Amino acid sequence: MTAPVVDTSPKVSDEIRKTTCYMCACRCGINVHLKDGKVAYIEGNRDHPVNKGVLCAKGSSGIMQVNAPSRLRAPLKRTGPRGSGEFQEISWEEALELARSWLEPVRKSAPEKLAFFTGRDQSQSFTSFWAQNFGTPNYAAHGGFCSVNMATAGIYTMGGAFWEFGQPDWDHTKLFMIFGVAEDHDSNPIKMGLGKLKARGGKVIGVNPIRSGYNAIADEWVGITPGTDGLFISSLIHVLLKAGKVDLSYLAQFTNAPCLVNATPGSSEEGLLIRNDDGKPLVIDRASGTLQPFDKQGVKPDLAAQVDMDGVTHKTVFQHLADRFLSDDHSPEAVSEQCGVRPGRIRAIAAELARVAFEEAFELDQPWTDFRGTRHEKMLGRPVSFHAMRGISAHSNGFQTCRALHVLQILLGTVEVPGGFRFKPPYPKPVEAHPTPHCHSKPDCPLDGPHLGFVRSPADLALKEDGTPARIDKAFTWENPLSAHGLMHMVISNAHAGDPYKIDTLFLYMANMAWNSSMNTRGVMDMLTDKDENGDYVIPRIIYSDAYSSEMVAYADLILPDTTYLERHDCISLLDRPICEADAAADAIRWPVIEPDRDVRGFQSVLVDLGARLKLPGFVDENGAALYKDYADYMVNHQRRPGIGPLAGFRGNGTQTGRGDVNPDQLQRYIDNGSFFVEHVPDEASYYKPWNAAYQDWAVGLGFYDAPQPYLFQLYAEPLRRFQLAAEGHGERQPPDHLRQQIKDYLDPLPVWYPPIEDGAVDTEAYPVHALTQRPMAMYHSWGSQNAWLRQIHGRNPLYVPTKIWQENGFNDGDWARLTSVHGEITVPVAHMAGLNENTVWTWNAIGKRKGAWALDDDAPEATSGFLLNHLIHELLPPKGDGLRWSNSDPVTGQAAWFDLRVRIEKASAPAESQPAFGPLKSPVGKGPATVQQKVTS
Ligand code: SF4
């Protein structure tokens, strides 16, 4: 019998267009196959630096994203009460004029009365430019409720962080330790890296209360108690220091470990680094025994130096660090019970880290020159790398936990060395290379500078003359001084409370704040619909832009419908969050590979139009004429600094990179090149980037900064100490008395661990169980909610319960449970999971949906058995009797403490559907068809 002939590669398209995926934030390259002008198939682009042809389930399901029935079809003006979902379709001209008529008086009288916040979009350098020219201080993206702890701890410690800022050296690493990472995160790149690592016989240690995704394929899984990662890491540091297994040479050369700390008691300099008249930190040179600036040529800094001056002995950062971490408080025995990890296991992991870092060290035959002018003939490799994300950062102790992890990496000498963690250009960049926050607004004027930045001291806080917060989200205040990404989760509740002031217009993009992006979801819906004594909405106007009929749509007054990602121009820019790899600078575009079949416009083009209508500087010329036709025009012609634009590739005559004149053909050059541009890091510059003269020169050439700026890793974070000094009474800007102790306790310049703040605010015996969410690998936030293929993978989300709690409650398959927090209760279906911390329950994030949203049927599983944990979490902690309500955030950065949640669980009789249930919203797009069919014939 002859085998049937099967064509495994049928021709499915008559044209292939290359663009960039946006089914999650990894931004892989994709080849979109078109048949008769319709998307027929999506495959990975093998030439692309991010994914090299790999495509995940989400990426290939993009075809159902551009066909989703939930796509908005035209601008909408609210006709019914807020929350009803009743709208009328209007023209773009009417919509834009309406927006202009609302925003123009605000700009001319009090620009701060516009609060403009965006979700997980990828055009923040553009949206912030718009907001800055509007003049409002109230702008940020979603980072405050996502992973600002990770970003800030990374920048303040080593000038870069995980995710877009860096990656393991997948080609050389042998031991990879991953903390609190959901499996959707950095999806294809991590999966490809894990594949490489495992093929070489490398080892993966996963630290996460939940054993799913990356943790499921880890060689070792540490099912840690939520919120105790910092304690566990501190104990690893304790063991390594005690055994002398730290990289002293690396610490002495490249970190502030040898810098001397001023010990003069009670002085305004106490705890700051001792500096010379040029402001350079001083070290003791081992050869001469003299005080020298850290970067002087030939200096060999002494980690153990002590200096007596004016009767006071000053010690190095390294000695302060050793004093802290060698304390018995950090011994494995002391932390074991809280972390849920046996002492022997902590010692074994520390020993494994030390063995691989030091006994499997290797050298690359690559000479390089450091910033002190010293030539090194080899590059020393330490093949241990780390990665971490939201699991450790979304706690109220997350900033200091992330700091502790970076300090562990640095003590092992595994950052920016072969085999370790590597930065992706334009990182590394020290704090000093970033702006400070700006907040001074004046009628009819742009803001005085960029909104977001990195504070160096209390002088940089966003406070008004009278000391009250300048921003609606109270970012950069004494409550959370280092809130580099703002606090989006506080915007609606503060605007509703008129605290610190009332606003006029709330303008949101791609942020589902009436559902899965908010804590206290029901409360937020009430705030958005609440009226004052005159019958007017407390938040007077809400403008929202989204591509889909999400829950938030029903709560807006004006909807500006966005396109899908295949119908638009986008810019994945080096000015923003680019697609670089450790070996290359890269950026990318999206372009309309298909035309919209609805009356929708790309949001960024809408902002360009609105900017011109409002005559914002940067959007009109001196005669008031529009500078840009649309976002594509802006991407090509805008220059942030002379010669530096949103896109780094094909500038000038098409051959210039980084710096260069505008090239009118730039977008076509990108399209011809697969929609990306890549420039490789020279070999001599590929590691040791913060201290490598060749890298610094290359970075200046590309325009990342204008002069070389080598710096030291900050084991000791001096900016935090400046806040403590203020809390101790030094300086002109003083915190309110009720915050002094908090600042002294939490803004410690060395990593410190304290229990999640909710643990001290609730009775943990009444609420003994931790509750978490994770994003699934096949769905990114709620973006997949309307995707017919992805819904088949994740259409419902049981509450996963560990064996101990399952047995204690006598649960069986099909049972339901009531989960109660100090804030509320939900009743939901349960499922048993053995690979789970024994005191933790969890569920997938953002699967539960409200009836009427996303064009789903009212009996869709997402709306009947799906649910959100958000109902159990509040943006404020419970009252503690001092007359104040404290934010449920990290007191250093303001990061939303989603994962501090404590609950109790009990068996419940099965309700008709998950509780709380909400009435259906009216859908402005109707419902989807029963079946979706598309046949491609060759
Ligand atoms: S990892 Fe993200 S960007 Fe890459 S193919 Fe999957 S969904 Fe698209």
- Note the pLDDT tens digit of each residue in 458-493: 999 999 999 999 999 999 999 999 999 999 999 999
pLDDT band at 144 (very low <50, low <70, confident <90, very high): confident
User: What is the arithmetic mean of pLDDT over 817-827?
Assistant: 97
Report pLDDT digits (tens) over 325-342: 999 999 999 999 999 999
CA of 177 to the centre of ligand 1 (A): 23
Ligand 1 atom with the shortest distance to the CA of 20: 3
pLDDT value for 122: 78
Confidence tier at 1 by pLDDT (50, 70, 90): low
- N residues, the chain: 938
Q: How far is the CA of 564 from the centre of ligand 1 (A)?
A: 15
- Per-residue b or e along 766-777, where b marks 16 or more CB atoms closer than 10 Å to that residue's CB: ebebbbbbbbbb
Inform me whether the pLDDT recorded for 143 exceeds 90.
no
Instruction: Give, in order, the Cα–Cα distances in Å from 683 to each of 317, 365, 462.
Output: 33, 11, 42
Mean predicted confidence (pLDDT) in 623-641: 97
With a pLDDT cut of 70, the percent of the chain lying above it is: 100
Ligand 1: residue of 20, 58, 120, 191 to mutate (most ligand atoms within 8 A of CB) is 58
Q: Count CB neighbours of 366 within 10 A.
A: 16
Q: Which residue has the tokens 């002293």?
A: 248
Report the chain's mean pLDDT, rounded to a whole number.
95
CA of 15 from ligand 1 middle (Å) equals 22
pLDDT of 670 higher than 80: yes
**3 state SS of 874:** coil
pLDDT tier at 929, thresholds 50, 70, 90: confident
Work out the percent of the chain whose per-residue pLDDT is above 90: 91
Amino acid at 326: L
Q: Cα separations (Å) of 782 from 517, 544, 761, 791, 812? A: 9, 17, 31, 11, 29
Is pLDDT above 70 for 635? yes
Looking at residue 766, its amino acid is A
Ligand 1 mean position, distance from CA 805 (Å): 36
pLDDT of residue 186: 82
Which tokens hold the place of 921?
A: 């919203």
What is the pLDDT, as a whole number, of residue 183? 79
Atom of ligand 1 nearest to the CA of 56: 6
Question: How many Å lie between the centroid of ligand 1 and the Cα of residue 517?
Answer: 21
In this prediction, residue 879 carries a pLDDT of 84
Q: Is 27 within 8 Å of 588 (Cβ atoms)? A: yes
How many other CB atoms are found less than 10 A from the CB of residue 536? 9
Question: Which is the closest atom of ligand 1 to the Cα of 30?
Answer: 5
* Phi and psi torsions of 765, nearest 5°: -75, -30
How far, in Å, CA of 322 to CA of 304, rounded? Answer: 11
Q: Say yes or no to pLDDT of 345 above 80.
A: yes
The CA 166 to ligand 1 mean position distance, Å, reads 18
Sorting pLDDT into bands at 50, 70 and 90, what band is 700? Answer: very high
281 vs 882, residue with greater confidence? 281
Ligand 1 atom at minimum distance from 57 CA: 6
**Pocket-forming residues, ligand 1, beta carbon under 6 Å:** 21, 23-24, 26-28, 51, 55-56, 58-59, 187-188
Residue nearest to atom 8 of ligand 1 (CA): 59
Centroid of chain to Cα 113: 26
> What's the pLDDT band for 146 if we cut at 50, 70, 90?
confident
**Which tens digits make up the pLDDT trace of 354-409?**
999 999 999 999 999 999 999 999 999 999 999 999 999 999 999 999 999 999 99
Q: Calculate how far, in angstroms, residue 193's C-alpha sits from the geometric centre of ligand 1.
A: 15
Q: What is the mean pLDDT of residues 129-149?
A: 93
Q: Hey, what amino acid is at 525?
A: M
| Cα 44 to ligand 1 centroid, rounded to whole Å | 9
| Ligand 1 geometric centre to CA of 236 (Å) | 34
Q: Tell me which residue has tokens 């989400």.
A: 58
- Ligand 1 atom nearest 189 alpha carbon: 1
Average pLDDT rounded to a whole number, residues 545-569? 97
CA of 203 to the centre of ligand 1 (A): 25
Q: Among 61, 187, 676, 783, which residue has the most ligand 1 atoms within 8 Å of its CB, making it the best to mutate?
A: 187
Which of 18, 20, 23, 32 has the most ligand 1 atoms within 8 A of CB, as the residue to mutate? 23
pLDDT in tens, 580-603: 999 999 999 999 999 999 999 999
Centre of ligand 1 from the C-alpha of residue 19, in Å: 12
Q: Name which residue sits closest to atom 4 of ligand 1, judged by CA.
A: 28
Say if residues 350 and 240 touch (Cβ distance below 8 Å): yes
Q: Which atom of ligand 1 is nearest to the CA of 26?
A: 3
Are 272 and 314 spatial neighbours (Cβ–Cβ below 8 Å)? no
Q: Kindly indicate the confidence band of residue 933, based on its pLDDT and cuts at 50, 70 and 90.
A: confident
pLDDT at 927 over 90: no
For 79-125, how does the pLDDT look when each residue is reduced to its tens digit (9 = 90+)? 999 999 999 999 999 999 999 999 999 999 999 999 999 987 779 99
Ligand 1 atom nearest the C-alpha of 188 is 1
Quote the DSSP letter at residue 331.
S
Cα of 747 from ligand 1 centre, angstroms: 37
Nearest CA to 590 out of 149, 5, 28 is that of 28
Tell me the best of 56, 783, 790 to mutate to test the pocket of ligand 1, counting ligand atoms within 8 Å of each CB and taking the most: 56
Task: Report which protein residue has its CA nearest ligand 1's atom 5.
Answer: 59
Model pLDDT for residues 279-319, shown as the tens digit of each residue: 999 999 999 999 999 999 999 999 999 999 999 999 999 99
| Contact present, 346 and 336 (Cβ < 8 Å) | yes
Question: Which residue's alpha carbon is nearest to atom 2 within ligand 1?
Answer: 24
Query: How many helices (H) and strands (E) in the chain?
Result: 25, 34
Q: How far is the centre of ligand 1, averaged over its atoms, from the C-alpha of 122 (Å)?
A: 14
> How many Cβ atoms are within 10 Å of 471's Cβ, its own excluded?
30
Ligand 1 atom closest to residue 44's alpha carbon, by position in its atom list: 5
159 Cα: distance to centroid of ligand 1 (angstroms): 27
The region of weakest confidence among 34-38, 554-558, 635-639, 881-885 is: 881-885
